[in-house]
Structure 1
Amino acid sequence: MTALLNPSARARRRNRRPAWEEPPTVAGQLVKGAVLTGVVLAVLIPVWSILVTSFSSRQAIADAGGMVFRPRDFDLSAYVLIFTRGEVSRAVWNSMFVTVTGTLLALVCTVLAAYGLSRPGSLFHRPLLLFFLITFLIGPGLIPSYVVVTSLGLKDSHWSLILPAAVNAFNLIVVRQFFMGIPGELIDSARIDGAGEWRILTRIVLPLSKAVVAVVGLFYAVGYWNMYFNAVLYLNNSEDHVVQQVLQAYILAGQSPAGIGSPPALGFNAPPSLAVKMAVVVVVLIPIVIVYPFIQRHFTKGVITGALKG
């Protein structure tokens, strides 16, 4: 009997399509596969060329006439140069400080605010929610933001990048909606057992909300890591520059890193400027590429569910 049921069970598992949806055609699947393949290649080919160029020698870049696609003459001198000269390594550490500190602070503020706004009986529930919605719909503008940051004495400080972006209204609404989807009976039973709001948040709500917190944390981290415009506005001291400013100086402004054009005392010939620029691009990409795969599986559950619940 089990052997007779197994094929049917396997067929049901394979066919998860709703009854009203037409089965896919061969032509449709071929078109979808071709489009997805094209999108993947459009993303991977430039990244591959950047990576290979960053590890290429001067001769390989000269023979290719620019960007290198086929690996040849493996050379680490570009990475050695950018990290021994200190400018890029210092900018990376500055960006890591801004990203880690800003993400932690933003998650704490967002989770606390979202939990308070998700409780119907909380103090000033509706006025505070309206306040956050207004900031979501109407931006403060460049000049008022600049005046506030400078008047608070945050200019030429990394806190000028961290504090203004500590709470994002969209992320707050997503987390709030997710919290509102948690069964109220579960929270009421915890209150009956004597649990306070802090214990309810840390022991019940947060363990059930790992997906949405992880996704929102990634949003904040990517925003802080890629922050460029605010850094240009508020960071004038080169010692405080973040990695996006260094990337802009090398790639868009056409500046050459220190050590290009004169043989540095590093035991090897100076690497080509193009290899150094591509190495900086790789350094900028690596943190997000490493973190994203661990968070990607939470996207559907964290964002879509959080936006629809409540």
Structure 2
Amino acid sequence: MMNAMRETKLDQIFVAINTVLLSGILIATLYPLVFVISASISDPDLVNSGRMILLPKGISFEGYANVFKDSRIWTGYKMTIFYTLAGTLINLAVTIPAAYSLSRKDFVGKKVIIIIFMATMFFSGGLIPTYLLMKDIGILNTIWSMLLPGATSIWYIVICRTYFQTNIPDELREAAVIDGCTDFRLFFSIVLPLSSAIIAVMALFFGVSHWNNYFSALVYLSDKELFPLQLILREILVKSEFNAQMLLIGSSDSEALGKELRIAEQTKYALIIVSTLPVMLAYPFIQKYFVKGVMVGSLKG
């Protein structure tokens, strides 16, 4: 057996520096997350005074109680889950076939199509023309106003196209064609099963985008039954802060004012957890695909 290579002094220094840097990055990343979780269940007075540094102190769930006492929160969750699932499926159904088609060397006219697609990255009609267009085609204040405008992204098409070019060899397609495989069967039976990594990564990107989307709902929706979770959480936060401000202006009851301000402060942290927890719980299940997918295009062959 060959002896393991001994590390030089420079190698040891390099490893030590990397360890310190990565440890610092880990702390900088985890601290805000742990702080927000602790602050959401801690006494707001201890948080504001700086006495709660990392771990929760003075356990209190008033912020979560203030959030979940609004019955609309469950409607918001339902609609957001629907927008996320349906929107992600639409995104994948448009992006993956488009990217695969543009990755094929025998696809006629792909250069012109790519130029047209790329133009959309630099030129846009703007918010008002888009609003008027959606009104004219009759999807304003419907679920389609949340799903169709962002059906795909040229940037994600380019990423998927790179994946197909570097991971799906032409020899595989040629062998399938020789065996009598049609383009549709090639795509569904061979290409898609070999593309689980990029599909998982795209699903994560699109899913997080739909989950956090509130601006489209703010502009295009007026029916509160269609509001996503983010918009309802925003209204809860605004209402809580508004009540505290009105009490500050017109009340001499310092005890009631202090309680309302404390609840408003704790509600902010609770809203962050409520809105991000589902995504954080889903991430570990697709982490291995994400790590593999971010290496798209780095290796060939």
Give the TM-score band, short-chain normalised.
Answer: 0.7 to 0.9
Distance 1:257 1:241, change over 3 A: farther
Distance 1:29 1:308, change over 3 A: closer
**Structure 1 residues 297-306 or 191-200, which shifts more?**
297-306
Give the count of matched residue pairs.
283
Question: What displacement does 1:25 show?
Answer: 5.5
Please state if 1:240 is matched with 2:239: no
TM-score (norm 1): 0.78
Contact map agreement 2:75 2:225 (CA 8 A) in 1: yes
Distance 1:23 1:200, change over 3 A: farther
Give 1:61's aligned residue. 44
The residue type equivalent to 1:292 in the other structure is Y
Question: What displacement does 1:138 show?
Answer: 2.8
Question: What displacement does 1:234 show?
Answer: 0.9
Name the SS of the counterpart of 1:157 in structure 2. Answer: coil
Deviations 1:4-35 (A, max 9, x none): 33x33xx4xx98xxxxxx95462x54444343
Question: What displacement does 1:63 show?
Answer: 4.1
TM-score (norm 2): 0.80
Question: What displacement does 1:82 show?
Answer: 2.6
How far apart, CA to CA, are the structure 2 residues paired with 1:98 and 1:66? 40
Please state if 1:107 is matched with 2:92: yes
Deviations 1:62-114 (A, max 9, x none): 34446744324544454344334212222222211111110011001111111
Distance 1:90 1:307, change over 3 A: farther
Give 1:226's aligned residue. 212
How far apart, CA to CA, are the structure 2 residues paired with 1:66 and 1:162? 44
Please state if 1:295 is matched with 2:286: yes
- CA RMSD across the alignment: 3.1
Question: What displacement does 1:191 show?
Answer: 1.6
Please state if 1:256 is matched with 2:240: yes
Show structure 1 runs of 5+ residues with no match: 16-21, 262-268
Name the SS of the counterpart of 2:295 in structure 1. Answer: helix
Distance 1:133 1:309, change over 3 A: farther
Give 1:138's aligned residue. 123
Q: Residue 23 of structure 2: which of 25, 37, 42 is its match?
A: 37
Question: What displacement does 1:281 show?
Answer: 1.0
Show structure 2 runs of 5+ residues with no match: 248-258
How far apart, CA to CA, are the structure 2 residues paired with 1:85 and 1:45? 30
Name the SS of the counterpart of 1:210 in structure 2. Answer: helix
Deviations 1:210-246 (A, max 9, x none): 1111111111111111112222211223332222223
Distance 1:65 1:175, change over 3 A: closer
Give 2:135's aligned residue. 150
Distance 1:303 1:43, change over 3 A: closer
Name the SS of the counterpart of 1:99 in structure 2. Answer: helix
The residue type equivalent to 1:138 in the other structure is F
Give 1:184's aligned residue. 170
Matches within 5 A, 1:57-136: 60-65=43-48, 68=52, 69-136=54-121
The residue type equivalent to 2:45 in the other structure is A
Deviations 1:130-153 (A, max 9, x none): 221221333342222222222222
